[in-house]
Structure 1
């Protein structure tokens, strides 16, 4: 996988003050990818050292008042062309800078104050659809024993658990909030595995419960809260879905956004919400663009065919009628299923980074679907799914 990375984060002496800004987490990640090193300011032939520069009044100015807008734009365009030609779907850039900052940049007062906005280079990348992350995000998402990756698996996808070097197992019934009387349906196991997947610390949950069996949204999301209490910052959800004909093909895919049609919201049932100042949670970037970019890159590297699209979560347990499928298509939905949406809402509310994967085992509204056919399809895709998840976890 190709990733564009700021040269200063890799240890090059290219910052405005002639110094470097190496980042251990970024350097560690760079060892697992094909790096496209970038520095738009050097590409713009700005001198080193020089006064600090920040954006203001639609341009870029040094602290001594010199207008360097043209140099910043020229360098950004030059490096943008390199990144575009490389095919890199992801860039890891220096936070806050007038070239590479993402979402937050210095406000032009040279006082260290931040304001909402993107750097000149970052804007070009985002317009092209290239995901931009900062070194801070890479640091936050790096798995460790204290912060393992949580993996919640749905129907027929629990075989990942068999690849984990397990150091501890936890019966779901010992998890706070999980219903005592719950029993797994076929294709699910109710025992979490804590250990390492190819050396990466993980907690794997090889099964889940569903609203359609009468459980509350709070109970359905108990595994998410458990993972959070154990220190997980990153969480991967994977489940079987139906593919909406005309929108996406059957097979593996990435969830890019969601529509909650279950009629439930776990936050309305979560006692922890009573302790926060505001119950309202922003749902933008519900699924982490950074993690999704990694998932796409891994799939490409491993020649695994994937789709992508919006997921609609429904109550179930009945499959969708043809009229419902037509309505979902009009709503822009590509995948439909009976889990995941409430879990993702809870994870996002807790500040976790979310990746949604799916196996579209059938065409929604078709006549070829029952539980056994879903299990059979999961078995056929088992090898690709395992390779995909292992590659994603490795790059994290």
Structure 2
């Protein structure tokens, strides 16, 4: 996987003051991927050191008042040409700068105040369809003993738990909010494992409960709240689904967005909502673009066939009728299942970074589908699924 990274984040002295801003998490990522180093300012011929620059009214001005908009545009074009010469999917850029800022930039008053906006180079990369993040995202997603990665597994996917080098195990009945009378369906287990996979700290939950079993949305998201309580900032949700004909094929998939068709929302039932500042959770990029891009890059590097698409969560437990499948296709849905959507809502409410992976075990609406055939199909893809998850953990 090749990643474009701001040179200053790698310790190269190219900043306006002649220094750099090395970030250990970014440098660690750089040691695991192929890197295209970028610095639009120096690529444009601007000297080092130089007066600081900020955007104001669509222009880029140095602190001494000189207009360097043309120079910043030239540097952005030259760096974009370098990125185009290699298959870059991801760019990690210096936050807040007039060239590389993502989402927030300095406002042109040199007061340190931030306003919504994009850097000149960051905007060009996004127009190319490249995922652009700052060092803050890389740091936020970095696992540690204090912040392990939570992995919630669905039907037939629980075997990933066998890869964990355990430190301790937690019976689901000891998890606050999890129903004491719950019994796992086939392909699920109700004992979480805290430990590591390939040296990466994880908490693996090898099973879940579902709305169709009669549990509330608050109950089915108890594992998410537990993971957050343990310090998890990243959560991987894996689920078995049906592939909507014409939108996706059977096999592994990366979830890009979701449609909640269950008629339930865990936030409407969660007592903890009373303690948060606002109940209105932003669901844009609910599935982290950074984590999705990492997963895509891992799959490509390993030669694992993976598609991407929108997930629709339904109440279940019936499989879909032909008319429902046609409606889902019209809605642009690629995958349909009976879990995950409420969990993602809860994870986003708690500020967690979400990666959604699916095994499309059958064609949605096809005859002769059963829970047993889903489990059998999951077994066929077990090796690729494990390799994909391990690859993502390694890059994080």
Partner residue in 1 for 2:308: 308
- The separation in 2 between residues aligned to 1:329 and 1:254, in whole angstroms, is 17
- The separation in 2 between residues aligned to 1:156 and 1:316, in whole angstroms, is 18
Whether the 8 Å CA contact 1:362–1:368 is kept in 2: the answer is: no
Q: Which runs of 5+ in 1 are unaligned?
A: none
Partner residue in 2 for 1:159: 159
What's the CA shift string for 1:310-367, capped at 9, x where partnerless? 1000000000000000000001100000000000000001000000000000010111
Confirm or deny that 1:18 pairs with 2:54: no
Secondary structure of the residue aligned to 2:88 is coil
- The separation in 2 between residues aligned to 1:186 and 1:342, in whole angstroms, is 21
Matches within 5 A, 1:285-364: 285-364=285-364
Matches within 5 A, 1:139-178: 139-178=139-178
- The separation in 2 between residues aligned to 1:306 and 1:171, in whole angstroms, is 33
Q: 4+ residue stretches of structure 1 with deviation over 3 A? A: none
Q: Which runs of 5+ in 2 are unaligned?
A: none
Partner residue in 1 for 2:211: 211
* Displacement after TM superposition at 1:136 (Å): 1.2
What's the CA shift string for 1:204-236, capped at 9, x where partnerless? 000000000000000000000000000000000
Whether the 8 Å CA contact 1:165–1:196 is kept in 2: the answer is: yes
* Displacement after TM superposition at 1:277 (Å): 2.8
* Displacement after TM superposition at 1:368 (Å): 3.6
Partner residue in 1 for 2:190: 190
- The separation in 2 between residues aligned to 1:258 and 1:277, in whole angstroms, is 25
Partner residue in 2 for 1:79: 79
TM-score normalized by structure 1?
0.99
Partner residue in 1 for 2:35: 35
- The separation in 2 between residues aligned to 1:377 and 1:84, in whole angstroms, is 39
* Displacement after TM superposition at 1:276 (Å): 2.0
- The separation in 2 between residues aligned to 1:259 and 1:15, in whole angstroms, is 43
- The separation in 1 between residues aligned to 2:387 and 2:278, in whole angstroms, is 41
Partner residue in 1 for 2:66: 66
Partner residue in 2 for 1:110: 110
- The separation in 2 between residues aligned to 1:277 and 1:255, in whole angstroms, is 29
Confirm or deny that 1:96 pairs with 2:96: yes
- The separation in 1 between residues aligned to 2:346 and 2:127, in whole angstroms, is 30
- Root mean square deviation, CA, Å: 0.6
- The separation in 1 between residues aligned to 2:368 and 2:108, in whole angstroms, is 61
Paired residues, number:
396
